[in-house]
Amino acid sequence: MKLAYQLFHIKGVSADRDNAASVVEATLDLPSLNSPTMSSQVPCPLYFTKHFKPGEVGLWHSTVVALKNFIESDFDALLILEDDIVLHDGFLAKSREYVERAPEGWAYFYQYIHPWQQENNFNPACEIGDEYLCRSYQVWSNACFWVSRKGAEALLEAVAKNPIDEAVDWYILKRGMTREWDVYSLRPQVKAYCHIGGFETTIQNS
């Protein structure tokens, strides 16, 4: 499987996030897709049915542009990271192992799940008989996830046909919960090898 990564980050907004992004870029031994992170100051061509915070619009715009660039590449799967993610030693080796276990026809695989969601949202119906993976059960956070070409195509087709009424993480994950899309996550007891840093939020305003 030919893999790449995309880090969403705007330099100069937060020193903490600049430092975290630098560590991610130095740590990941993968080619970068190098798709631009779109500021909310850049006009967004997507159609929204509700008001979103500036950073939410920027994330939607960035995600759609990245998925289009991914589809035009020869990569099989893309790791998408937001700039408050902190990677642990051994992250990439385990991440490769996890994504390669995803069932045939998978669309999205979420490696980071907030602990509250692990404790409160998981239920046995999510099990697929795998030691590490299960059906998705969380409803928010795109801090660290993989997308296949199938998943990218599904999202691009959906937003081309219909207006957007949810933030991008909710949009993907709710379709996983309804089984419209094949979205998988780590089981709650499995180590993610990453966590969210306690940085001041900037994504809502930049």
Mean pLDDT, residues 174-192 taken together: 96
Q: Which fold has domain 3-196?
A: Spore Coat Polysaccharide Biosynthesis Protein SpsA; Chain A (3.90.550)
Q: What is the pLDDT of residue 139?
A: 92
What is the reported pTM? Answer: 0.94
Instruction: For the chain, give the percent of residues with pLDDT over 90.
Output: 82
Q: What is the pLDDT of residue 201?
A: 56
Chain mean position to CA 166: 15
Asked if the model's pLDDT at residue 206 lies above 50, the reply is no
* Residue 135 per-residue DSSP state: E
Mean pLDDT, residues 83-89 taken together: 94
For the chain, the domains span 3-196
pLDDT bucket at 129, cuts 50 / 70 / 90: very high
The closest of 172, 178, 155 to 46, measured between CA atoms, is 155
